[in-house]
Amino acid sequence: MKTFLKAATLALTLGASSLAMAEPVKIGLITTLSGGGAGLGVDTRDGFMLAIKQSGNKDITVVTEDDAQKPELAVQIADKMIQSDKVDILTGIVWSNLLMAVVPGAVAQGKIYVSTNAAPAALAGEKCDPLYFNAAYQNDNLHEAMGEYASKVYKKTFIMAPNYPAGKDSLTGFKRYYKGELASEVYTKVGQTDYAAEIAQIRASGADAAFVFLPGGMGIAFMKQYAQSGVKIPVIGPGFSFSQDVLPAIGDAALGAKASGQWAKDLDNAANKKFVPAFQAEYGRLPSIYAVQAYDAAQLILSAASKASVKDVKAFTAELNKADIQSPRGKFKFNTNRHPIQDIYLTEVVKENGTLTNKIVETIFTDHGDAYAKDCKK
C-alpha cells in the first residue's frame, strides 16, 4: 500500500510527462572499449550509464558494443543496432573518423545521433543534419580558446599537432583567434611516441610558448619527454592533452600546464557538486571530460524522452534541442547547428591530496558557439 501511494504521488508530481515516459526508448552505445583508446570509451560508457542509473527510468534500454576504434567495425555495429536491435538513438563514438563513418548512414535511416565527443567540422556546417546533435563541443572550440588566451599572454608561439584532419583543424582553430607571431608550425606522425626531434625544434625556435595538441598516448609521451629536456618554454594545449584519463600517466610533468576546457572538477554549480561525488562513488575514480559529455548526452535523451515519444522524431528532436538539463558544465544550450553554446575556461594542472587534476583559472569565452553554425541551413 505504502509503495502504491509513493508511486501515485510520484505520478502526480511528474504529471502528464510520466505518461510519455512509458514509451520505451532503445539506445545503441557504440564506443571504444578495447585497444589503445579504450580509456576514453570506458569513461564515455560509465558517464552515460551513471545518468541512466540515476534517472531510475526502466523504459530505457542501452545496448553497448565495442568498436575497437575501427571505423568499419563501428559501421557494422551501427548497421546491426539499427537493423537487428531496432534502436531509436545512437551515441557514444569517441573519434571523429568513426563518427564520420557512422553518422551519415544512421541519420539517412531516420535514426537520431547524439555525439558524446567527436565533432568534426564537416557535420557542423553545410552537412549538418536535423537528427545529429552534439553534446560535447565543436572540435575547434578548445583550440580557439587557447588561441584567444595565447593572444593575450604570448607574443611568439610554436604550434604542433599530429598530421591528420583533427590535427589540422586544431591548428586552424588556434590560428583563428591567435593574433601574435608564429614561431613554427609542425605536424607530427600519427601515433608517434618519440618527440626528441620536435622538442629540439621548440628549444631552438625562440618562442615564448608552445601550443601542443597531442591526444592520448602521444600527449603522455610528449609531456614526459618535455619535462626531461630542460626546455623552459611553457606548454599550453586543449583540455584533451591534460584530461583526467591521461594525467596519472603523465605524472608531475604536467603540473602547472595551462589548457582550455568547458568543464573542470571544481566548477562551481549544483549539478557538478552532485555529479563528481556520484561518479567517484560509483566507479572509484575521478571523472574525465569524456564522462561529463556522455553524462550530458544521456541527460539530454532522458529529458526529451520524458516529454515526447521517440517514435515522433520531429517532436523528440525539438525537445532535445531545448536542452532542458542541469549540466555539470553549468550553462548549456544548443546553437542553430545543434552544437553547444557554452563557456570555455582556462584550466591549470594542480595536485590535490596527491592526485593530479585540473583547476579553473579564468573564463576565456562566454557563450561560445562555433565558426560553422552559419553554414548550417538545415
Partner 1 sequence: MNRETRVNLLLLVLLLAVPFVADALGQTFTVTLVTRIAILALAAVGLNIALGLGGLVSFGHAAFFGIGGYAAGILASHAMSGEPMLFGFEGSAQMPVIWIVAMLAAGLVSLAIGVISLRTSGVYFIMITLAFAQMVYYFAISWPAYGGEDGLSITLRNGFPGLNTMRPTEFFLVCFGVLAVALVLSALLSASRFGAALQAARQNEVRLASIGIAPMPIRLTAFVLSAMITAVAGALYADLNRFVSPSMLSWHMSGELIVLVILGGTGRLMGPVAGAALFVLLEFWLGGITERWQFFLGLILLVTVLFARGGVIGLFAGKERHG
Partner 2 sequence: MTLALVIEQVLNGVQLGVMLFLMAAGLTLIFGVMGLINLAHGSLYMVGAFACASVAALTGSFWLGLVASLAAAAAAGALIEITVIRRLYQRDHLDQVLATFALILIFSEGTRWLFGSFPLYLDIPPLLQGAVGLPGGAQYPLYRLAIILAGALVAFGLYALISRTRLGMRIRAGESDREMIAALGVDIRTLYTLVFALGAALAGLAGAMVGALQSVQVGMGEPVLILAFVVIVIGGIGSIKGALIGALLVGSVDTLGRFLLPQLLALVVPPDQAGLIGGALASMLIYILMAIILAVKPRGLFPAQA
Write out the residues near partner 2 by the rule CB under 8 A: 33-36, 38-39, 41-42, 163, 168, 171, 184-191, 193-194, 196-198, 200-201, 203-204, 216-217, 220-221, 224-225, 228-231, 245-246, 248-252
H helix intervals, the chain: 2-14, 17-21, 38-55, 71-83, 96-108, 141-153, 165-177, 196-205, 217-228, 247-250, 270-283, 289-305, 313-322
Name which of 36 and 206 has its Cβ closer to partner 1. 36
* Angstrom distances, CA of residue 284 to CA of 33, 36, 116, 242, 276: 18, 21, 22, 20, 11
User: Does residue 223 touch partner 1 according to CB under 8 A?
Assistant: no
375 binds partner 1 (CB under 8 A): no
Q: Is the four-CA dihedral 378, 333, 289, 291 of positive or negative sign?
A: negative
3-state secondary structure of 89: strand
Under 8 Å between Cβ of 145 and 151: no
Closest CA to 348 of 366, 330, 360, 356: 360
- Residue in 97, 184, 192, 225 binding partner 1, rule: CB under 8 A: 97
List the one residue out of 243, 295, 282 whose CA is nearest residue 264: 243
Q: Quick check: 43 binds partner 1 (CB under 8 A)?
A: no
Per-residue binder mask for partner 1 (CB under 8 A), 294-333, x = binder: ----------------------------------------
Candidate residues 19, 36, 83, 273; the one interacting with partner 1 per rule CB under 8 A? 83
- The closest alpha carbon to 149, from 1, 322, 368, 356, belongs to 368
Question: Which one among 65, 144, 296, 370 touches partner 1, defined by CB under 8 A?
Answer: 65
Binding mask of the shown chain, residues 155 to 174, with x at each position contacting partner 1 by CB under 8 A: --------xxxx-x------
Determine, following the binding rule CB under 8 A, whether residue 120 of this chain makes contact with partner 1: yes
Q: From the CB of 251, what's the least distance to partner 2, in Å?
A: 5
- Only one of the segments 22-30, 69-77, 296-304, 309-317 lies at the binding site for partner 1 (rule: CB under 8 A); that segment is 69-77
